[in-house]
Structure 1
Amino acid sequence: MADALTRRFFLTGIETICSIGIHDFEKAAPQRVLIDIEVMLDPEMEPAIDNINDALNYDEIRQTVVNISQSRHFDLQETLARAVFDAVRSMKSVVGLRVRTSKPDVYKDVNEAAYQLSDFA
């Protein structure tokens, strides 16, 4: 039964160099940021044929994430995540979205400082 199916795309660990942070050492140089995207797709928009023109192109998602992350300085991960969220959420067939940002190198004794924004559970 097709109605019970959910369709999701995952792009995990998109690595970008981003100017982000409130500390002087963070403002002095860009740092590595990892961004995860989980897209919930409209179940009614499943491609009828094997053609990228009928599907959400994840190249577009990846490039959008990189472009936004490198567009300016972000003080907060929350602000970066919201900018990415708003751009990807407006893409065709996207009915739900989870964005997770992570600064893996900000502290020597912490694996990562991360933030997540989602409009589904």
Structure 2
Amino acid sequence: MEFFNRRLSIRKLSLSVSIGFYEIEKLRPQRVLIDVELRLPPLVNGIPDDVQATVDYDQMHKSITTLVAGRHFNLQETLCHEILALCARLDGVTGARVWVRKPDIYTDCESAGYEAEVGMAG
């Protein structure tokens, strides 16, 4: 019997987000990169070619872009945890990891960010 552990992901989703604690950060949106990884229940003895056996990543993408539209986040941590909450509500998800980072705030490093994950009892 074979078990297939599965993950679904969106990598480097680039969004313009109103984010930041300092007054200067509140003047204009900043570019934020978001990675999301969803854990799905394992499959036994093969992977069916059936949309019901997975999660709709279009829904995940749309939910994230809707979440950030028209509102301000003081902290990357808040944004990250709200995305995790979205993921936890998706049917068929057993866990999720989200990494949020600002790539443009320092010139001497790639980015500054925050990562968190959640596991759901099943």
With the shorter chain as reference, the TM-score category is 0.7 to 0.9
> SS in structure 1 opposite 2:73?
coil
Structure 1 residue ranges, 4+ long, deviating more than 4 angstroms after superposition:
none
- Name whichever of 110-119 and 89-98 sits farther off: 110-119
Runs of 5+ unmatched residues, structure 2? none
TM-score, structure 1 normalization: 0.86
Aligned to 2:11: 12
Contact 1:64 1:88 in 2 (8 A): no
Instruction: Give the distance between the partners of 1:50 and 1:11, measured in 2 at CA.
Output: 20
Instruction: Give the distance between the partners of 2:50 and 2:41, measured in 1 at CA.
Output: 17
- The number of aligned residues is 119
Distance change in 2, residues 1:50/1:116 (3 Å): same
> SS in structure 2 opposite 1:35?
strand
Runs of 5+ unmatched residues, structure 1? none
Contact 1:84 1:99 in 2 (8 A): yes
2:99 is the counterpart of 1:95: no
| Aligned residues: CA RMSD | 2.2
TM-score, structure 2 normalization: 0.86
Structure richer in helix, relative to its length: 1
Aligned to 1:111: 110
